[in-house]
Structure 1
Amino acid sequence: MPPVNPPKDEINHPDRYAGGKFECIEVMADVFGKEAVKDFCLLNAFKYIWRQEKKGGAHDVKKAIWYLNKYIELSDINENV
């Protein structure tokens, strides 16, 4: 039986943003700093919400949620939401 590959996760970990063992957003945080990447996440969430009716629909909403969750992760927010 051939090996089973896990399904691709185009929302949370798209292949095009992984360059080896690090994802692009992790390297961005190292290069530009956490605050810059937090701003990037908020702006990307805005972009995906803005265009969702005309382009990506639910896929874009899921991407916006991913960026908002990444913002929370980078903010070290330890609140129970």
Structure 2
Amino acid sequence: MEQSIGLIPPKDNTNPDYYVRNGMECYDAQLASVGLSKFQGYLECCIFKYMWRWEEKNGKEDLQKAAVYLAKLIETVE
């Protein structure tokens, strides 16, 4: 994550505001739309994608994104 000197808040590339609409997170809308099994498959594919490319593309940022998707997947099995 970017360092901040307090003037500008650090950019959060893992949970931007535009993924919330009318108080509903995009994740929740996706889950409601496709059901648990398909939603879990989607999360697995996202994890795979970011783990596949992290060394070639965005490094640490891609690892952080994979971690976000993994945390979301874990939430679905608790």
> Structure 1: how far apart are the matches of 2:72 and 2:60?
18
- The one-letter code matched in structure 2 to 1:58 is K
Of residues 8, 13, 22, the one that matches 1:10 is: 13
- Residues 45 and 64, structure 1, Cα contact 8 Å, conserved in 2: yes
Q: TM-score, normalised by structure 2?
A: 0.79
In structure 1, runs of 5+ residues without a counterpart are: 1-5, 77-81
- 5+ long unaligned stretches in structure 2: 1-8
Q: Equivalent residue for 2:55?
A: 53
Which of 18, 33, 37 in structure 2 is aligned with 1:35? Answer: 37
Aligned to 2:5: none
CA–CA separation in structure 1 for the residues paired with 2:24 and 2:10: 19
Which structure carries more strand by proportion?
2
Q: How many residues align?
A: 71
